Amino acid sequence: MRLLIPFAAAFVLAFALSGAPLPARAAEETVVTDAAPMAPGLHAFDLTAARNGLTYRVDVSVPPVAPPPGGFPVLYLLDGNAFFSIAATSALLLGGSEGPVVVVAIGYPGVAGFDLTRRYLDLTSAVTPEGRTIMGARAPKVPTGGDEAFLDVILNEIRPEVARRLPVNDDRATLFGHSLGGRFVLHAAFTRPDAFRRWVASSPSIWWNDREVLKEEAAFAARTGRPALDLTLVVGGAEQDPEREEAPERAAFRTMARMVDGVRDMHDRLTRLQAGAGRIDLLVVPDEGHISVVPASLGRAVRRAAG
């Protein structure tokens, strides 16, 4: 199993910049290559997607028990390089009480932690002039806007490959993402609500593109015959607190982002909208920040995936 690099050093949020080149065109077909086994129950493969021509490393943890009737429930993770170790360990520790869960972590080959260039592309809509103005010096200097293609890759290429390899139940699939990944989860839930049974958005970047995801939420709310969501929102209770010796630029961004307020407001709106249908959970983890909340978020994601 990959080592999880220290968050404080590696998790530069979504604002660090990188100039690694990206493929210019989609591949002609999906290409899958097995990686060397890491340990019993752990598997990995690289998949070059036909949809966007990009290669993904997929790490998989399989419970050491017989699959239940219909197959294992599955927890799909974004930013898989960073989060696989925590999620796989949580699934093993909680398996006896919560039930077995297959963990599928979607990341990138040969990268420890976060590939900031790739995650900007995969997890975001195209940055708008308004969004760039709001982010100022923190605005990305790398490609954005690949979220729809990435969602297609997950649903039409990665999930079928996992189902081909393992006895999984796609009707019991959960999607987890943190930060920009949390924003991606909300985008997917509001635009393709039937794609997953459950959704877990951890510290979602609701602020992205001048809170563009709120427009998607409103469009979802206005849909006739919309399905009821099973969505868990998680945020660290200290994410809006001033930091020690905080730079003015950081303080301005924290005020703009309103991480805790934004999640609370969304929970309240969706709870009223669904009026008891589905399930909208809110977990505000006291004293935790944007980084330190991740283990609690993943623990909750494992429990929801097993349910």
Judged by average pLDDT, the poorest of 23-32, 43-52, 94-103, 249-258 is: 23-32
E strands present in the chain:
31-34, 42-48, 55-61, 72-77, 102-107, 168-178, 198-202, 230-236, 279-285
Judged by average pLDDT, the poorest of 113-117, 153-157, 295-299 is: 113-117
Give the CA-trace dihedral at 173, 105, 281, 145, to 10 degrees.
Answer: -100
Q: pLDDT per residue over 3-36, tens digit each?
A: 333 333 333 333 333 333 444 456 678 999 887 6
| Composition of the chain by helix, strand, coil, percent to 5 | 40, 20, 40
| Banded pLDDT at 37 (limits 50, 70, 90) | low
Q: What is the mean pLDDT of residues 153-162?
A: 98
Give the CA-trace dihedral at 59, 65, 66, 67, to 10 degrees.
Answer: -50
Domain 7-306 annotated CATH 1.10.645.10 = no
| Model pLDDT, residue 36 | 67
| Model pLDDT, residue 12 | 32
Q: What is the pTM of this model?
A: 0.88
Instruction: Please say whether the beta carbons of 50 and 27 come within 8 A.
Output: yes
Query: 200: exposed, middle or buried (C-beta count within 10 Å: 0-12, 13-18, 19+)?
Result: buried
Instruction: Look at 18 and 232; give whichever has higher pLDDT.
Output: 232
Residues 6+ apart with CB under 8 A from 303: 94, 98
Instruction: Look at 287 and 250; give whichever has higher pLDDT.
Output: 287
In one-letter notation, the amino acid at residue 78 is L
Cα–Cα distance, 257 to 206 (Å, whole number): 8
Q: pLDDT per residue over 160-216, tens digit each?
A: 999 999 999 999 999 999 999 999 999 999 999 999 999 999 999 999 999 999 999
Judged by average pLDDT, the poorest of 19-28, 130-139, 150-159, 259-268 is: 19-28
| Banded pLDDT at 295 (limits 50, 70, 90) | very high
The three-state secondary structure class of 266 is helix
Q: What is the mean pLDDT of residues 205-229?
A: 97
Cα–Cα distance, 180 to 78 (Å, whole number): 10
Q: Is the pLDDT of residue 260 over 50?
A: yes
Q: What is the mean pLDDT of residues 142-157?
A: 97
**Top-confidence range, 15-19, 105-109, 245-249, 252-256:** 105-109
Cα angle 295, 145, 201 (rounded to 5 degrees) comes to: 25
Instruction: Please say whether the beta carbons of 240 and 260 come within 8 A.
Output: yes
| Model pLDDT, residue 25 | 52
In one-letter notation, the amino acid at residue 162 is V
